[in-house]
């Protein structure tokens, strides 16, 4: 397993390809977008990720990393394409596997006996079995002539390169041979973590369970924030005190839940088992409704004609990832109520995001009302200036000095 093909060069695929090349593999990163491929060949990436530009330059200089729109022959194929969601008529969401299937069909055209195909994309349980079928149909090989494993990514933006090497990895496969090959591949790059082997369906569920746990915990924190506001108390201080108990660990409330994982993955479980997972669906609805509840609270505080600036559009601090951004939901909800809304997202250079002007922090500080939606370091550095303006703090940054 020396020649590796990585399909999909987004937030996970590109760092994975770079890490594998620096680990000594011969790697071809494949993406369907010509602009992405050409940019990466020139050493350019649009991703904001600490250390990635330097690591990419090193991998390219080594000669072990190339980029293409066409799949080469390889010993192992790693699929890291997106798995978006489809919204159902009842408001729930289901996994959209068309990109996984397309990647499988493309891989099948290059598949040889003994090859390994690893699915890293987050998927509902049973997808690896479907992947085997797509690969077999497209290649003409029987399922026992190649190997399929699932190794879900478990990293977060801002720490991807560090966590690719340092986190434990789940290696799931239907056969012992596939698990053995996948472990041999990841053992060379996951140097600080442990490889934990299981079957493919358990591995698929593991990633969903991890993110669903966090979603439910955050939903509880978001509910507490609504109750605390009605009681006139500081929810962040409340949670800090509750977490002094040795068996309590409440997460932090915010404007909602964003990102491609936590905001989406719970639906993959609920969609398959709706009668058995009412708690999962309830938590999702609490977190989806939180930006609208924040909009109500902000609107009730606005003087007529006030200009509002929402500080932070990324789904978490100090990254540029806007996927499933609850801050954008908040912006639209405030505009729908009649507010004049702009945004300040320092991690993107775009002049406008989703129809909202993206202004510098200095300009935002002149607005009539500020909504602190994301705890970016840039905002932390101007905390006193933000606190001096009429504001609504969704993340508990501005009153932090009053807690201990």
Where are any strands of DSSP class E within 256-378? Answer: 307-311, 340-344, 352-353, 356-357, 369-372
Decide if 290 is catalytic. no
In percent, the amount of the chain with pLDDT more than 90 equals: 90
Q: Which residue has the tokens 């999909």?
A: 8
Inform me whether the pLDDT recorded for 216 exceeds 70. Answer: yes
Inform me whether the pLDDT recorded for 401 exceeds 70. Answer: no
107-122 pLDDT per residue, tens: 999 999 999 999 999 9
How large is the average pLDDT for residues 79-86? 90
Decide if 244 is catalytic. no
- C-alpha 324/C-alpha 260 separation (Å) is 6
Q: Calculate the alpha carbon distances from 195 to 94, 123, 156, 189, 266 in Å.
A: 29, 20, 19, 11, 24
- C-alpha 129/C-alpha 131 separation (Å) is 5
Catalytic residue among 128, 206, 261, 344: 261
Catalytic residue among 5, 28, 151, 207: 207
List of domains in the chain = 3-198 (3.40.50.720), 211-402 (3.40.50.720)
Contacts of 95 (CB under 8 A, 6+ apart): 83, 85, 86, 123, 124, 127, 267, 268, 271
Confidence bin at 6 (pLDDT 50/70/90): very high
Q: Calculate the alpha carbon distances from 139 to 67, 75, 105, 146 in Å.
A: 24, 15, 8, 10
Average pLDDT, the chain: 95
Residue 113: the pLDDT is 98
Element (H, E) at 222: helix 200-231
Threshold 0.85, pTM exceeds: yes
- Note whether 82 and 42 are within 8 A (CB): no
Torsional sign, CA 286, 288, 290, 295: negative
Residue 75: the pLDDT is 98
What DSSP letter does each residue of 302-320 carry, written as one string? Answer: PPTT-EEEEE--SSSTT--
- C-alpha 33/C-alpha 66 separation (Å) is 15
Degrees (nearest 5) of the Cα angle 314, 317, 323?
25
Give residue 56's Cα distance to chain centre.
21
Residue 404: the pLDDT is 57
CA nearest neighbour of 173 among 116, 114, 104, 107? 116
Inform me whether the pLDDT recorded for 83 exceeds 80. Answer: yes
Q: Which residue has the higher pLDDT, 404 or 89?
A: 89
**CA atoms in the 13 A half-sphere facing the CB of 33:** 9
- C-alpha 382/C-alpha 315 separation (Å) is 20
Angle between helices 265-272 and 200-231 (to 10 degrees): 110
Q: Which of 226-265 are b and which e, b meaning 16 or more Cβ less than 10 Å from the residue's Cβ? A: bebeeeeebbbbbbbeeeeeeeeebbbbbbbbbbbbbbbb
- Which of 66-75, 284-293, 391-400 bottoms out in mean pLDDT, i.e. has the lowest? 391-400
Q: Which residue has the higher pLDDT, 185 or 156?
A: 185
* 26-30: strand order across its sheet: 65-68, 26-30, 3-7, 76-79, 116-119, 147-150, 169-173, 195-198
What DSSP letter does each residue of 286-302 carry, written as one string? Answer: HHHHHHHHHHHHHHHHP
Inform me whether the pLDDT recorded for 206 exceeds 80. Answer: yes
Contacts of 206 (CB under 8 A, 6+ apart): 152, 170, 172, 198
Confidence bin at 403 (pLDDT 50/70/90): low
Residue 46: the pLDDT is 84
298-331 pLDDT per residue, tens: 999 999 999 999 999 999 999 888 999 999 999 9
- C-alpha 68/C-alpha 121 separation (Å) is 20
Residue 349 burial (C-beta neighbours within 10 Å; 0-12, 13-18, 19+): exposed
Q: Calculate the alpha carbon distances from 279 to 228, 273, 332 in Å.
A: 22, 12, 28
Torsional sign, CA 283, 217, 170, 155: positive
Q: Which residue has the higher pLDDT, 259 or 195?
A: 195
354-379 pLDDT per residue, tens: 999 999 999 999 999 999 999 999 99
CA nearest neighbour of 156 among 378, 394, 325, 317? 317
Torsional sign, CA 230, 235, 237, 243: positive
How large is the average pLDDT for residues 122-140? 96
- C-alpha 27/C-alpha 21 separation (Å) is 6
Copy the structure tokens of residue 342. Answer: 């702009």
257-284 pLDDT per residue, tens: 998 889 989 999 998 999 999 999 999 9
Inform me whether the pLDDT recorded for 402 exceeds 80. Answer: no
Residue 343: the pLDDT is 98
């Amino acid at each position: 397993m020396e020649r590796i093909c990585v399909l999909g060069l987004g937030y996970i695929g590109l760092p994975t390809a770079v890490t594998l090349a620096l680990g000594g593999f011969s790697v071809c990163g494949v993406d369907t977008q010509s602009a992405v491929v050409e940019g990466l060949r020139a050493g350019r990436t649009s991703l904001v990720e600490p250390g990635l530009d330097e690591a990419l330059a090193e991998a390219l200089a080594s000669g072990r990393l190339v980029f293409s729109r066409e799949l080469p022959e390889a010993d192992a194929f790693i699929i890291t394409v997106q798995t978006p969601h489809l919204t159902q008529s009842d408001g729930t969401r289901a996994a959209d596997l068309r990109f996984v299937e397309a990647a499988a069909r493309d891989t099948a055209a290059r598949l040889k006996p003994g090859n390994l195909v690893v699915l890293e994309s987050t998927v509902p349980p049973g997808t690896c079995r479907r992947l085997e079928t797509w690969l077999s149909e497209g290649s003409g090989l029987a399922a026992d002539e190649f190997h399929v494993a699932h190794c879900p990514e478990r990293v977060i933006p801002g720490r991807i390169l560090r966590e690719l090497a340092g986190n434990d990895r789940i290696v799931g496969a239907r056969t012992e041979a596939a698990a053995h090959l996948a472990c041999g591949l990841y053992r060379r790059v996951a140097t600080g973590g442990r490889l934990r082997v299981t079957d493919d369906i358990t591995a698929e569920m593991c990633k969903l369970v991890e993110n669903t746990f966090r979603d439910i915990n955050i939903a509880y924190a978001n509910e507490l924030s609504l109750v605390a506001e009605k009681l006139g108390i500081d929810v962040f201080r409340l949670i800090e005190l509750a977490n002094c108990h040795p068996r309590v660990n409440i997460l932090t409330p915010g404007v909602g839940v964003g990102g491609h994982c936590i905001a989406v993955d719970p639906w993959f479980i609920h969609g398959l088992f709706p009668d058995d997972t009412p708690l999962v669906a309830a938590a999702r609805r609490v977190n989806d409704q939180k930006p609208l509840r924040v909009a109500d609270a902000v609107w009730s505080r606005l003087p007529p004609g006030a200009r509002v600036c929402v500080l932070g559009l990324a789904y978490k601090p100090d990254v540029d990832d806007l996927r499933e951004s609850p801050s954008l939901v908040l912006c639209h909800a405030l505009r729908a109520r009649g507010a004049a809304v702009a945004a300040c997202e320092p991690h993107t250079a775009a002049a406008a995001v989703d129809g909202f002007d993206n202004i510098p922090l200095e300009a935002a500080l002149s607005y009539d009302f500020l909504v602190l939606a994301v705890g970016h370091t840039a905002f932390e550095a101007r905390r006193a200036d933000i606190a001096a303006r009429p504001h609504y703090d969704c993340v508990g940054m501005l009153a932090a000095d009053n807690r201990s």
